[in-house]
């Protein structure tokens, strides 16, 4: 079965990568691609249409799933439109506040919604092992450093926050310390969190565990945005036919 994909934010960095990734996937095709400012542009031969027409495009083009890498406000609007049209929604957008996450969860009551801060399979592997590392090294200091390009809006990154959640679930931690300045001796139970923004770095996350005169570093580097797009397209193919509900990229990897 051919998976019919709608793409939002199609003229952005990730939107372009998603269109290319769909083209590389034998079982997928782009049935529409939208942008807030289409300006008659095409991406890899796909005509970019106005995001204002999303409601009618969902009905007329009958996508299997929509892939979204935009911003929190836009993603929530697209998710609601997909819920109304009975179309699955896959988003890698990060930076949602609590109300926006609640709106996404509301959409998942009507259709399948898959939200992941990172669609790299290597990051999923990192998430799988970081908790075990924390359990095996009780009492060790933990620091997390993430680096992204200078245009990334949210900090810490969505992936960093997901890693922090996994770390906290597997150890005795009481607070997150974001950066340090002046006299700040380390407190027991804190996790140091550092967000770097520079150049055109695609994405790097490192978890440092140190104690007992040793250190363990767990690092993931994404060398090309295409890895995120390919994972999102895999998620769109997987979510076809899934019942309404909230899903994670781990569900895709598990099968």
Catalytic residues: 148, 152
Cα–Cα dist 149/125, whole Å? 23
The DSSP-derived string for 22-47 is: HHH-TTEEEEEEEESS-TT-EETTEE
CA distances from 47 to 8, 35, 44 (A): 12, 10, 9
Cα–Cα dist 241/255, whole Å? 14
Burial pattern 2-21, b for ≥16 Cβ within 10 A else e, equals ebbbbbbbbbbbbbbbbbbb
- Residues 42, 93: contact at Cβ < 8 Å? no
Cα–Cα dist 54/1, whole Å? 24
Quick count: other Cβ atoms within 10 Å of Cβ 97?
10
The DSSP-derived string for 151-191 is: T--SSS-HHHHHHHHHHHHTS---EEEES--SS-PPPTTEE
């Amino acid at each position: 079965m051919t998976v019919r994909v709608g793409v939002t934010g199609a003229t952005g960095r990730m939107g372009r990568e998603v269109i290319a990734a769909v083209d590389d996937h034998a079982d997928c095709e782009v049935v529409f691609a939208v942008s807030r400012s289409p300006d008659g542009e095409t991406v890899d031969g796909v005509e970019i249409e106005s995001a204002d027409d999303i409601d009618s495009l969902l009905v007329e083009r009958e996508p299997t799933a929509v892939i979204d890498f935009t911003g929190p406000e836009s993603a929530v609007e697209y998710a609601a439109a997909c819920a109304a049209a009975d179309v699955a929604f896959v988003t890698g957008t990060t930076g949602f506040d609590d109300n926006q996450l609640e709106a996404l969860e509301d959409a998942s009551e009507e259709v399948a919604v898959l939200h992941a801060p990172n669609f790299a399979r290597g990051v999923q592997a990192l998430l799988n092992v970081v908790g075990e590392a924390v359990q095996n090294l009780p009492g060790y200091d933990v620091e997390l450093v993430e680096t992204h390009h200078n245009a990334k809006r949210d900090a810490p990154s969505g992936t960093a926050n997901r890693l922090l959640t996994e770390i906290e679930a597997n150890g005795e931690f009481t607070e997150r310390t974001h950066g340090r300045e002046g006299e700040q001796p380390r407190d027991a139970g804190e996790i140091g969190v550092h967000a770097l923004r520079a150049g055109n770095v695609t994405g790097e996350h490192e978890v440092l565990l140190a104690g007992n005169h040793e250190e363990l570093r767990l690092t993931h580097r994404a060398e090309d945005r295409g890895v995120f797009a390919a994972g999102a397209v895999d998620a769109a193919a997987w979510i076809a036919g899934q019942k309404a509900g909230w899903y994670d990229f781990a569900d895709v990897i598990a099968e």
